[in-house]
Chain A
Amino acid sequence: MAFNDETRKVFAEEIQRIKDDGLYKEKRFICSEQGAEIVVEYPEGAPRRKVLNFCANNYLGLSSHPEVIKAAHEGLDSRGYGMSSVRFICGTQDIHRELQDKMSAFLGMEDTLLFPSCMDANSGVFEAILGQNDVIIADRLIHASLVDGIRLCSAEYDTFKHMNMKHLEKKLELHQDKRTRLVVTDGVFSMDGDLAPLDEMVALCDKYDAMLLVDDSHATGFIGKTGRGTHEHFGVMDGVDVITTTFGKGLGGASGGCVSGRRELVELCRQKARPYLFSNSLAPPIVSASIKVIDLISRSTERRDKLEWNTNYFRGKMEKIGLNIRPGETPIVPVMLYNAKLANDMARDMYAEGIYVIGFFFPVVPAGKARIRVQLSAAHEREHIDKCVEAFGKVGEKYGILGLSKEEIIARYGT
């Protein structure tokens, strides 16, 4: 079938439906390196302007760090540009092994396997380690990549209410007849910024003989006193069986992910995980730069400490001006607006004030829980945060929501 006018119409109509539903993702171009201050072309074709970036996953501010860039250059010079191979044929260099070993040591795990992304790690891990006699019991708000991976696996799956330990216990009791049970959660949930109670989850997994898998993509490098992640934060470094995480967020932000955990589970991924077996090896400059990142954050907690200070400073100031933020302690700070149009309009006005943030609404977050998600970075300076809060104050005042409770905002704007 040729791609004729009729065929084109089929797809054009689907795109139109996405637009009609208000779900169309517009193009936004960053015309500078990633950082606290970026140059943006938005909408497409508009004049470029310098704005402060409060929506990147650049938690540790390492995306454009000079030492990381230098390490990437060194990797390029010493190990080349690409591997032109999957890992198990001729795509594994000594530096891939070095990065895996460093990640195992950093996360306190027995072994680690690199993947092209954490999306790939999550797609591959379940199918590699579980079969039809097993069950996966997942928090309902886990990341989409975990959902995809779980659906690709022949194991039965079930879900529990978000961070509801009573409900998890009920499900663990229900599935005692299975060969193995694997409980799955995000360490830090990307939309709400809340921390999964891993101490309670580890205790339940012990009680009901279950394994625990944590996607710590929004935690590795900065959650916990030395940045090891959510398991460090809750003092259960030995209680988590598998961690999946990314190099694409706090750890330099380029790409790549990994599965880290019990030796046999990682070995099964090495033998069976399809995204590992059938996808190209992580490029040498990225591997080399990621090694440098792990060295930097193992040597000093300065960057995660600064991020923690920035987070507390921002949260405190936002509460003071009377905006409704979800309480918490992570650098993901949802400014709750409940109404999708209000979230979109305010994000647009924030951009006009020189602050780059994005509105999120259903189906990305539950209906009636629209928000602007702010993400802090160690790259932010105090004056950046002051400017962001000032802009929120100005825009919040324009919409008359300062000091209003959830109910009052909903009464004025609906959900």
Chain B
Amino acid sequence: MDEMKDVVLQYVIDEYLEEDEEDEVTYDSPLISSGIVDSFSMVSLKKFLENKYKVKLPDEEATPEAFDTVNSICALVKKHMG
């Protein structure tokens, strides 16, 4: 699980933060409600998770709330990994 958190956190940093961005993102940082990730750009994160962890995240569960922190994202992925 911890390894998953690190992988997701690193993806978020690479995919969504600008190189010169000062924001420090942790496992609990709000991503969507803070505006770091918007609902339009969330799609690449969902796709990355589905490919990396070989899961299908149903649209009704891939909500902005469920994607708001690295912790909640990992919980959702884990649930679908069975």
Contacts and interface: CB of A to CB of B under 8 A. Distances in A.
Decide if A and B are genuine partners.
Answer: yes
Interface of A: 138, 140, 147, 157-159, 161, 164, 362-363, 366-368
Interface string B44-71: 1001000000000000000000000000
Contact of A159 (B18, B34, B35, B41): B41
B43 A158 contact: yes
A41 to B, nearest CB: 34
A362 B41 contact: no
A366 B23 CA distance: 13
Contacts of A362: 35
A171 B16 CA distance: 13
B43 A157 contact: yes
A147 B18 contact: no
Q: Main SS of the interface on chain B?
A: loop
B44 to A, nearest CB: 5
Contacts of B16: 161
Contact of A164 (B18, B41, B47): B18
B38 interface: yes
Contacts of A161: 16, 18
Q: Main SS of the interface on chain A?
A: loop
Contact of B43 (A159, A164, A363): A159
A140 B18 contact: no
Contacts of A147: 40
A414 to B, nearest CB: 14
A157 B39 CA distance: 13
Most buried by A among B35, B40, B44, B47: B40
Interface in B1-55: 16, 18, 34-35, 38, 40-41, 43-44, 47
B43 to A, nearest CB: 6
Given A159-B43, A164-B18, A140 B38 contact: yes
B35 A366 contact: yes
Contacts of B40: 138, 140, 147, 159
A164 B19 CA distance: 10
A159 B37 CA distance: 11
Contacts of B41: 140, 159
Contacts of A368: 35
B44 A158 contact: yes
A55 to B, nearest CB: 23
A366 B18 CA distance: 13
5 contacts: A140-B38, A158-B44, A159-B44, A161-B16, A362-B35
A310 B47 CA distance: 46
A363 B47 CA distance: 24
Contact of A367 (B18, B34, B43, B47): B34
A144 to B, nearest CB: 9
A138 B47 CA distance: 16
Given A140-B38, A362-B35, A363-B35, 13 more contacts: A138-B40, A140-B40, A147-B40, A157-B43, A158-B43, A158-B44, A158-B47, A159-B40, A159-B44, A161-B16, A161-B18, A164-B18, A366-B35
